[in-house]
């Protein structure tokens, strides 16, 4: 038989939870209203940062493609990653022929495929931009985090 006291206790806890949720929502609304301008400024700054990073990333990729340089102004960097493109069934057949496994171990296959040429594997290089934790700007004494 079910313990009615536990069910009653749970019901009381759910009521308490809803009461607290309502109080928190009121406080959040009060906070949001009292700090509307501050929060709006924050949202605008965050959007500007996203936009700036997008523009810088596009320029950094162009500069990397033109010069091959991976370390750019302000600590901005380029990371080139290789993505392997292949059909899993072909890779599995290849792995069986080379006594690698009975089931394709993608991680092991990827290591081999990165190290040597396999006729059905294409390698796609993709450059991504990295931003440092601290941006060092020449001729400025402060470091921006």
pTM > 0.85: no
Structure tokens at 140: 């400025």
Residue 101's pLDDT is: 66
> Residue 131 CB: number of other CB atoms within 10 A?
14
- β-partners of residue 122 are 85
Report which secondary-structure segment, H or E, holds 96. Answer: helix 88-97
CA distances 109 to 47, 95, 122, 124, Å, are 41, 7, 13, 16
Q: How confident is the model at residue 102 (pLDDT cuts 50, 70, 90)?
A: low
Max CA distance (Å), the chain: 77
Q: State the Cα–Cα distance between residues 76 and 134, nearest whole angstrom.
A: 10
Most confident listed range (10-14, 21-25, 83-87, 104-108): 21-25
133: helix, coil or strand?
Answer: coil
């Amino acid at each position: 038989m079910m313990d009615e006291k536990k069910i009653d206790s749970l019901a009381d806890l759910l009521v308490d939870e809803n009461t607290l949720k309502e109080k928190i929502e009121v406080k959040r609304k009060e906070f949001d209203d009292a700090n509307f301008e501050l929060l709006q400024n924050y949202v605008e700054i965050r959007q500007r940062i996203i936009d700036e990073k997008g523009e810088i990333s596009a320029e950094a990729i162009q500069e990397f493609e033109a010069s091959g340089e991976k370390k750019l102004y302000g600590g901005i960097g380029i990371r080139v990653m290789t993505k392997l493109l292949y059909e899993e069934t072909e890779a599995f057949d290849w792995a069986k022929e080379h006594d690698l496994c009975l089931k394709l171990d993608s991680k092991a296959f990827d290591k081999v495929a990165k190290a040597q040429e396999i006729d059905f594997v294409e390698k796609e290089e993709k450059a991504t931009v990295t931003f440092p934790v601290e941006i060092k700007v020449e001729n400025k004494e402060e470091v921006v985090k």
